[in-house]
Structure 1
Amino acid sequence: MPLTNPWLSEPAPAHRLPRQRLDERILNLLSSQNMCVLATAGPEGPLATPVRYYSLDFAVMFTAAPRSPKLRNIAADPRVSVGIFAPLVGRASSRGAQLFGEARVLPPEHPGRDHYWDAFRWENEHAERGRSLAEPPSDTLVVIEPSRIVYTEHWLRRDGFAARQFWKRPPLGKPGEETAN
């Protein structure tokens, strides 16, 4: 029987992508999708919530009601995981990422919030809610700057790279330094 994608057969390659190429692929995924699953932990156990997000570099951000279960969980434990994936047609098209980090809740008066609002397409949410586009945004913003990302793309196997790649944020204060995958 002919194989559609013979490169998906074993043995699976183990080579790591160069950091710049991995960054590029992750950023492409983050900017080409708009839905994620946010995983938090709370007193009732794990909570996985579908959320519409926007991205700025490797950060993902979304608005949330201050009394929502996800924000209650984040207040108790800011460690979160975010799953983002492209539509799946078959194994060859499998592409997604798991982001791990701490969620920061930025209320409307937070001084660091403007940096993210420049990339947040709040006009879409205002229009959906019937709010005036002339009225300034006042929603609570949640930002996740991942400390590590597990990126999966089976198409990488075609070029001899492992389907699962590992990204870590470079140490702060040392621009240009890279962390090995």
Structure 2
Amino acid sequence: MTASPWLAEPMPAERLPRERLEERILNLLSSQNMCVLATTGDDGPLATPVRYYSLGFAVMFTASPRSPKVRNIAADPRVSVGIFAPLVGLASSRGAQLFGRARVLGGDNPERERYWPAFRWENEHAEQGRPVTEPPRDTLVVLEPDRIVYTEHWLRREGFAARQFWRRA
């Protein structure tokens, strides 16, 4: 007897309707807070775990302007971000790979203002002993992905492919 017969081969190939796919991606992005940022630098690839916040499909985090990840983004802004939910078994496998060009927004960049409402900076200020009455001046790194590869094996129960593909309209 198989615990999850719907996980057996052959795998379905059906594409999820865009609206349903977007809902699942947004749910994943808003329900997690850690990702792995992949950049490339002179020493090769760098995969860095970072705490992130999301606003729609955008993911963002603060970073020191002198950090290796910011130096790598300055040299080549093409990045990948991996986000995943805790895994219990194949049936619970759920995650996304986001691809695009990261933007580094310094303290004086006016574009930052649209992202800060989603960023719970007060938590970080409290952790660092900084006043929660002063808005952050930290460097903000933002990825508005051009494409996302979303994987959720539970979709196979409904006859959809576990791997789904999203591209910015």
Q: What is the TM-score with the length of structure 2 in the denominator?
A: 0.99
Report the AA paired with residue 139 of structure 2: T
**For 1:62-96, what per-residue CA distance to the aligned partner results, in whole angstroms no more than 9, with x for missing partners?**
00000000000000000000000000000000000
Where in structure 1 do 4 or more consecutive aligned residues deviate above 6 Å?
none
Residue aligning to 2:44? 45
User: 3-state DSSP class of the match of 1:67?
Assistant: coil
Distance 2:105 2:27 in 1: 26
Match status 1:65 vs 2:76: no
CA deviation after TM superposition for structure 1 residue 135, in Å: 1.6
Distance 1:110 1:138 in 2: 10
Deviates more, 1:53-62 or 1:135-144: 135-144
Report the AA paired with residue 84 of structure 1: I
Distance 2:24 2:168 in 1: 15
Distance 1:133 1:162 in 2: 45
Distance 2:121 2:107 in 1: 13
Distance 1:101 1:13 in 2: 28
User: 3-state DSSP class of the match of 2:91?
Assistant: helix
CA deviation after TM superposition for structure 1 residue 108, in Å: 1.0
Structure 1 residue runs of 5 or longer lacking an equivalent are 171-181
Residue aligning to 1:88? 87
User: 3-state DSSP class of the match of 1:10?
Assistant: coil
Report the AA paired with residue 157 of structure 2: R
Q: How does 1:59-138 map to 2 (within 5 A)?
A: 59-138=58-137
Q: Could you tell me the percent identity over the aligned residues? A: 79
User: 3-state DSSP class of the match of 2:110?
Assistant: coil
Structure 2 residue runs of 5 or longer lacking an equivalent are none
User: 3-state DSSP class of the match of 1:118?
Assistant: helix
Distance 2:22 2:138 in 1: 30
